[in-house]
A = this chain, B = another copy of it.
Amino acid sequence: MALSRDTVVETATRILREYGLGDLTMRRLARELGVQPGALYWHVASKQDLLVAVTEALMDTLPVHDDAVGLGDWLASTLLPVPDAADVVRVALAWRPEVVSALAAFEELAGAAGVGAGVAARQAWARGALDLVLGAVADHQEGARAAAARETEPPAVEHALERVREAMERWARA
Contact = CB atoms under 8 A, between A and B. Distances in A.
Interface of A: 90, 93-94, 121, 124, 127-128, 130-132, 134-136, 138-139, 142, 145, 163, 166-167, 170-171, 173
B94 A167 contact: no
A135 B134 CA distance: 10
A131 B124 CA distance: 13
Contacts of A166: 121, 124
A167 B135 contact: no
Contacts of A128: 132, 135-136, 167, 170
Contact of A171 (B93, B139, B145, B170): B170
9 contacts: A90-B138, A93-B142, A124-B136, A127-B135, A128-B136, A128-B170, A131-B134, A131-B135, A135-B135
